[in-house]
Structures are given as C-alpha cells and as structure tokens.
Amino acid sequence: MAIHFADGADDDAPIMDINTTPLIDVMLVLLVMLIITIPVQLHAVNLNLPVAKATPPPIKPEVIRIDIDARNVVSWNGQPLADRADLELRMAAAAQQTPQPEIHLRPDRRTRYKAVAEVLVSADRLGLRKLGVLGNESLAAR
C-alpha cells in the first residue's frame, strides 16, 4: 500500500469556482422577509343570503275512512253506523276540527250510486273539503 502525496506544483493555481453558499443564504433571507411582509388576504365573497324563517312542520291531518258495503251500510273507521243522522253528526264534528281531517270514501263496487251520492252531498253541505273516493285502483290497471 502506497501513500500518495499531492504534488506542490498545482498549489498556486487560482480557484475557478464561485462559492454560492453565501448567495443562497442571502436569497433565502430576502424570501423570508418578503413572505413576512406580504399582508394576509382573506378570500371572501360577499353574498346577500336570505334569512330563513323557522316555521313548524305541517301537521298531518287525521284520516277518516268511510266505507259503504254492498248492502249500503255506512261504516265510520270500520264501525257500522246506525243511520244517516249518525253519519252527519260525525261529519259535522269532523268539519269543525282544525286542521280538517281527510275523508277517504271507499264504496263497494256493488254499492248503489245513490248511497255514495248521499254521502258526498252530506260532506259538501257540512263543509268537508278534503274528501277523496278510493277504490278505483282496479280500474287504473286496465
């Protein structure tokens, strides 16, 4: 193993490279100062948004089912009524409720039209406005 010693002939040659370390240090200090002095900008868009008014959810009305069977017997929510006066008494009480209940009229397909018309006329006369006739679903499929 030989040890190699450098010749002294190249010791006097000038260094041809520029030392860039101090230049980079100065540039970094300037960059940090620039970042610190830039004002903070908040990105915001001014909008005129509507103000929501809290309203309570709508109350679902009661559903009353009036059935008329093939023998023209009228039922109120499944309970058969004795006569037409009992039906009108219950309809008058329902018309006074707030909110007014929904009346679902379900006549049997063999019910006479006169019986259905009497119930509809009574409901209209007593002021029931939310009335629907059910039972035509089988006709819609045809």
Tens digit of each residue's pLDDT (9 = 90 or more) over 6-61:
555 556 777 778 888 889 999 999 999 998 888 877 777 888 888 888 888 888 88
The pLDDT value recorded for residue 141 is 53
Return d(Cα 75, Cα 69) in angstroms, integer. Answer: 8
pLDDT single digits (tens) 86-136? 999 999 999 999 889 999 999 998 888 899 999 999 999 999 999 999 876
CATH class as words, domain 63-140 = alpha beta
Instruction: Return the domain boundaries, the chain.
Output: 63-140
Place of tokens 């045809």: 142
**Cβ 84 vs Cβ 92: under 8 Å:** no
The pLDDT value recorded for residue 4 is 61
Distances (CA, A) of 12 to 7, 18, 133: 11, 17, 114
**Cβ 64 vs Cβ 103: under 8 Å:** yes
